[in-house]
Amino acid sequence: MHSDPDWAKTAQQFQQTLGDGWTRAWADAIKPIQGLDLGVPVGGMATAPQVTFSATKLQALQKQYLEESAALWNQSMDAAVIAKDKRFSAKAWTENPLTAYNAASYLLTSRTLMGLADAVEADDKTRSRIQFAVEQWMAASAPSNYLAMNAEAQKKLIDTQGESLAKGLKNLMHDMQQGHVSMTDESLFEVGRNVATTEGAVVFENELFQLIEYKPLTAKVYAKPFLLVPPCINKYYILDLQPENSLIRYAVEQGNRTFVVSWRNPDKSMGDKTWDNYIEDAAIKAIAVTQEITGAKTINALGFCVGGTILSTAVAVLAARGEKPVASLTLLTTLLDFTDTGIIDIFVDEAMVAFREKQMGKGGLLPGGDLSSTFSFLRPNDLVWNYVVGNYLKGETPPPFDLLYWNSDSTNLPGPFYAWYLRNTYLENKLVQPGKATVCGEKIDLRKIDIPAYIYGSREDHIVPIGGAYASTQHLPGQKRFVMGASGHIAGVINPPAKKKRSHWISDATSFPAKAEDWIAGAQEHAGSWWTDWSAWLKSHAGKQVAAPTQYGNADYKVIEPAPGRYVKARAQ
């Protein structure tokens, strides 16, 4: 039990410190979008645009608001309506009429303001920016986020005689020191000990990446080796969390001689690295080293998210040079056509990109925490305030979760790389315009990637919308297979068959309509993971089976260190 008799004073200090923590959280969240006009004041950097509202929508909104306000005032608001929102699902919220009214009033105001944002008559980007800003404002102002109004946290404070408050303050101090809100108990995880544990060895490294070769788990392997290129904005072990949910281990178990790119977490010495460096000195180099170690003329390759964009660009550069070392291409939640980028589109315009180019286009680093905070605020209630309430107001320790540990292990990005990527993809969408983007001295033309491609998108992905992932089918000329999985950007991908969770959609049609929704209308749902379908497809392009190697690397590429290697263990500073 907490024995401090003056816990009211401690509560006051806690609230003040918590307010400082929130201020820091907001500051961290908007760092990646400095210079962006969201259409509403954000950190004092933007001005409100001139907008009008739909008279019809305003009239309907006013009528709805008056009716629901009357119901709320007359205390006829159904408690079940409040409890449907998980922020107010605890009994403490509905047992007290005052707190129930407070929650219901907030929800009514939130619905009304979001409806008001929807009634804005403006271009799509301006409307989306206003909706996003209102969503952030309403998420931050929820009564559940404040100890003085959170009935559940207050009850726990009383029940624990102040112990929850003391633990919450301790949690807050810890998170402020580490620089981010804890989503899981990070002390329970260690890279190489209980995540990223698939057995292997680093067989090559340069200043950008290490190449890991994995120990075969079958007596024979397919002749064509398999190379994975993960996103450089995260660490590769999202593909190798635990043995039971490791896509890397699954690929090895299926008889693939497997290699993976482990990106270096950039420090100041890498502040001048460009998109060309990542293509020539990383992706193309990894393909060449994999060929040289295995003796294979061609390999199969997989790219995930930005890793897929990097890999596809590398294959296009090689095609422009008359080289075709990649026999098949797998793209997981990857954007090649940046027409549909979902919510991220609100952050990108000429002013924002020009600001980033001026800030770091010639050198410098984008701190990993900035990017991580921005992605978290795309889903503020689930990925920010949920943990603020649990960690600080209730004094809880979040449960162990390997995926959330990985999510908190952020990586920096070289400024020139980031600036090029923003302008040439998100802003100007050059990769799908033949000859418009020049990379490593070659004009990019995706039509030259005439190899089989397996393209995967997640139905609820908020980072790579399903339409954006599907759009690759319109630009890659080779034989294609598109599969849609349930859930989001990460959970949809990391869905091992043994779990028997979720589902996926496949169409046997050989043609691909222009719009994703038309493909979805003709697709059939299948229970469970898409991994088995992909594995069968990959095997059809993997060649004959040969005896598995008994050692890593070869005479020219010797073992440097055991997997997972040093690079993946470096934390962003």
Indicate which residues carry an active-site annotation: 305
Is residue 121 helix, strand or coil? strand
Q: Is 333:352 a contact under the CB 8 Å cutoff?
A: no
Is residue 479 helix, strand or coil? coil
Query: How far is 105 from 378, CA to CA, in rounded Å?
Result: 24
DSSP run (H or E) holding 389: none
Tokens representing 34 are 């400095």
Query: How far is 205 from 231, CA to CA, in rounded Å?
Result: 17
Query: How far is 330 from 311, CA to CA, in rounded Å?
Result: 10
Query: How far is 208 from 276, CA to CA, in rounded Å?
Result: 12
Is residue 98 helix, strand or coil? helix
Residue (of 197, 202, 199, 211) closest to 245 by Cα position: 197
Alpha-carbon distances, residue 274 vs 77, 160, 277, 282, 421 (angstroms): 57, 54, 5, 11, 9
Query: How far is 366 from 356, CA to CA, in rounded Å?
Result: 10
Residue (of 149, 71, 163, 137) closest to 103 by Cα position: 149
Query: How far is 301 from 282, CA to CA, in rounded Å?
Result: 14
Tokens representing 183 are 């989503």
Query: How far is 408 from 262, CA to CA, in rounded Å?
Result: 17
Preceding omega of 452 cis (within 30 degrees of 0): no
Tokens representing 218 are 């079958």
DSSP run (H or E) holding 147: none
Q: Which amino acid is at 64?
A: Q
Burial class from Cβ neighbours inside 10 Å (0-12, 13-18, 19+) for residue 223 reads middle
Alpha-carbon torsion, ordered 392, 394, 398, 399, to 10 deg: 170
CB atoms within 10 A of CB 369: 20
Alpha-carbon distances, residue 313 vs 188, 238, 306 (angstroms): 38, 22, 11
Tokens representing 58 are 């305003």
Query: How far is 53 from 59, CA to CA, in rounded Å?
Result: 10
State the DSSP code for 216.
P
Query: How far is 563 from 440, CA to CA, in rounded Å?
Result: 30
CB atoms within 10 A of CB 563: 26
Triad 468, 469, 470: Cα angle to 5°: 90
Helices 7-30, 368-376: axis angle to 10 degrees equals: 100
